[in-house]
């Protein structure tokens, strides 16, 4: 009976999409679903509204209230436009930037977004074609706009698309603007309230001039231009994995002085179908397979990749035995921050007011590197909107020199406020040249960092629990970890528990509880042991899974013991996983 009630409700919602308010193509797709004997697609498409969350929209493309289409995108844009007119009522003209990635329908959605903003009297700067997400963030600040929208689903499968909303500082929206925008979107009850008829006089196309300004700004981040010149012929394989980095990243590498950039031709083709990979995600080893094959063919020094909207970085390094190894996100962030701090110190540019930012689930070895270089480090929640929030709070007070997270995101600059693979890859190439100048390969440099700052090994584990019962199981797991806290991990006693749900930090030996300084609460729990082990547990906000981040530490006396210490750390992580039942 419950299923029949749901189906009847879904059919009523779907029938409303057969009116003349919707275009013929949409009506035909809805009619097909209604007439199908299998109601699965109909239910999935209409059983709820695609929610405008704190990061915007993300979903499968298609007709329906729970899908990415011109009407769900339209409602989001109309709601955002309404709020902008409230928030900036005193301005003579409100302006926004609109961009998009290579995904199917991205250009179509971007043009509709531009039309709706312009129909609401808002000036629009629309990119002429696909561009990296960080360039949109840069353009908002560069042009002095009040907001921006990027049509992208990052590294999701090809069926997906998304809608990211940005504020005047170039960062993705946070409180109070996120809630205020959501409220305005939810007020739109009828498609007729969406102003689809654009005012072309208010839409300005931007492109090459913004590209040049963005690349020039990225060039200023170089900390050793001479080393790039000396090793200009460094063999660099780069793949955009069919995404937006195809032009900007090679251009930036050339801007840094590198002349030997080797492409993966099949993956240089921009395509929302991502035809050569199962997943267009540089975190996934299979996505790097063609680039690794090309690197072996030409004996490349290093391989770089970016995801479809070019905000995440992938990096594969050549080992001394000629094999290639994928760096994890923690290692990428650690290498970048180490280089930035060390070079700033060598250049006499560390004056005591510099700081870096990492997320709470990112490796604690970064804390040691910062301490050893007398640089302040701030922790924040997962997501670059929180790194951007720290930058905003400290603007004009301290100098930001870099920040990142374990999920393959890094931001070297403050002239953009979202993770940026264009600048990150440019700097990683410079680091490869810098290491080569010292007779080291990437792996030897990584070992040197561990010797100087302590060794760590990290592993992330996602436990998937689908459906309503799965969500309840995840809630029960978090409840159990809170009510029955872990006493020890791999033989080392837990000494600190941080619960971000109530911002309580508990010193276990004394029982003392202090409040942590974070802007809001979050459903994250962390255990720290006496030997430096850290376990972070958090349910995913977008997928039916609970994530465990395990980090173990050890001392590395010399590089010769690296393999031995690494093997020991792997064993320790295996023990902890078994202990946690994952």
Say if CB 163 and CB 73 are below 8 A apart: yes
Residue with tokens 């006499």: 348
Spot the catalytic one: 45, 154, 222, 407: 154
- Taking the C-alpha atoms of residue 266 and residue 242, their distance in angstroms, rounded to an integer, is 8
Contact 552, 492 (CB under 8 A): no
* φ/ψ bin of 252: left (φ > 0), alpha (ψ from -120 to 50), beta (otherwise): alpha
The dihedral region occupied by 459, where left means phi > 0, alpha psi between -120 and 50, and beta the remainder, is beta
Q: Which tokens is 366 given?
A: 């970064």
Could you tell me if 14 and 46 are in contact, meaning their C-beta atoms sit under 8 angstroms apart? yes
Query: What is the distance between the alpha carbons of residues 495 and 411, in angstroms, rounded to a whole number?
Result: 32
Laid out side by side, the sheet with 354-359 consists of 376-380, 354-359, 399-405, 409-411
Strand, helix or coil at 439? coil
Residues 6+ apart with CB under 8 A from 343: 223, 224, 434
Nearest CA-CA partner of 188 in 337, 71, 317: 71
d(CA 333, CA 314): 11
- Residue 113: Cβ within 10 Å count: 28
Q: How far is Cα 268 from Cα 245, in angstroms, rounded to an integer?
A: 9
Do residues 27 and 17 touch, judged by C-beta distance below 8 A? yes
Active site residue 154: yes
> Torsions phi, psi of 335, nearest 5?
-65, -45
Phi then psi dihedrals of residue 273, to 5 deg: -90, -10
CA distance 558 to 556: 6
Largest CA distance in the chain: 74
Cβ atoms of residues 218 and 227 within 8 Å: no
Contact by Cβ (8 Å): 305, 291: yes
| Catalytically active residues, by annotation | 154
């Amino acid at each position: 009976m419950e299923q029949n009630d749901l189906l009847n409700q879904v059919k009523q919602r779907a029938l409303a999409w057969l009116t003349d308010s919707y275009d013929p193509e949409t009506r035909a797709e809805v009619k097909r679903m209604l007439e199908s004997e299998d109601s699965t697609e109909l239910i999935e498409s209409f059983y709820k509204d695609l929610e405008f969350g704190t990061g915007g929209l993300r979903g499968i493309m298609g007709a329906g209230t729970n899908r990415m289409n011109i009407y769900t995108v339209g409602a989001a844009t109309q709601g955002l436009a309404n709020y902008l007119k409230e928030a900036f009522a005193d301005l003579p003209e409100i302006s926004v930037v609109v961009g998009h990635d290579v995904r199917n329908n991205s250009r179509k959605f971007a043009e509709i977004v531009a039309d709706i903003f312009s129909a609401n009297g808002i000036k629009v700067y629309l990119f002429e074609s696909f561009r990296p997400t960080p360039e949109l963030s840069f353009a908002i600040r560069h042009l002095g706009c009040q907001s921006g929208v990027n049509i992208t689903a990052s590294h999701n499968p090809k069926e997906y698309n998304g809608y990211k909303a940005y504020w005047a500082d170039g960062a993705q929206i946070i409180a109070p603007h996120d809630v205020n925008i959501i409220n305005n979107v939810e007020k739109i009850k009828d498609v007729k309230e969406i102003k689809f008829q654009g005012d072309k006089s208010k839409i300005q196309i931007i492109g090459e001039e913004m590209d040049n300004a963005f690349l020039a700004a990225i060039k200023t981040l170089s900390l050793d231009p001479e080393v790039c010149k000396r090793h200009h012929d460094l063999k660099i394989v780069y793949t955009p994995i069919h995404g937006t980095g195809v032009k900007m990243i090679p251009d930036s590498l050339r801007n840094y002085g590198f002349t030997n950039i080797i492409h993966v031709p099949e993956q240089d083709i921009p395509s929302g179908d991502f035809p050569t990979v199962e997943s267009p995600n540089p975190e996934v080893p299979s996505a790097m397979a063609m680039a690794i094959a090309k690197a072996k063919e030409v004996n490349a020094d290093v391989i770089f990749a970016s995801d479809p909207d070019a905000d995440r970085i992938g990096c594969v390094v050549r080992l001394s035995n000629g094999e290639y190894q994928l760096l994890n996100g923690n290692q990428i962030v650690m290498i970048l921050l180490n280089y930035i701090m060390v070079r700033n110190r060598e250049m006499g540019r560390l004056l005591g007011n510099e700081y870096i930012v990492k997320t709470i689930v990112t490796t604690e070895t970064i804390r040691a590197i910062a301490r050893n270089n007398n640089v302040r480090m701030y922790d924040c929640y997962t997501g670059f909107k929180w790194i951007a929030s720290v930058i905003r709070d400290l603007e004009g007070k301290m100098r930001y020199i870099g920040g990142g997270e374990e999920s393959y995101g890094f931001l070297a600059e403050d002239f953009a406020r979202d993770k940026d693979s264009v600048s990150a890859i440019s700097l990683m190439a410079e680091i490869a040249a810098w290491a080569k100048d010292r007779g080291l390969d990437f792996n030897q440099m990584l070992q040197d960092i561990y010797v100087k700052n302590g060794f760590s090994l990290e592993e992330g584990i996602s436990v998937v629990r689908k459906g309503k019962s799965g969500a309840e199981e995840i809630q029960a797991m978090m409840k159990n970890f809170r009510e029955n806290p872990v006493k020890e991990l791999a033989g080392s006693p837990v000494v600190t528990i941080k619960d971000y749900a109530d911002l309580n930090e508990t010193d276990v030996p004394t029982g003392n509880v202090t409040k942590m300084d974070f802007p809001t609460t979050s459903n994250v729990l962390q255990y720290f042991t006496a030997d430096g082990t850290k376990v972070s547990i958090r349910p995913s906000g977008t997928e039916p899974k609970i994530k465990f981040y395990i980090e173990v530490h050890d001392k590395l006396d010399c590089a010769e013991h690296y393999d031995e210490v690494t093997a020991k750390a792997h064993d320790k992580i295996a023990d902890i996983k078994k202990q946690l039942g994952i």
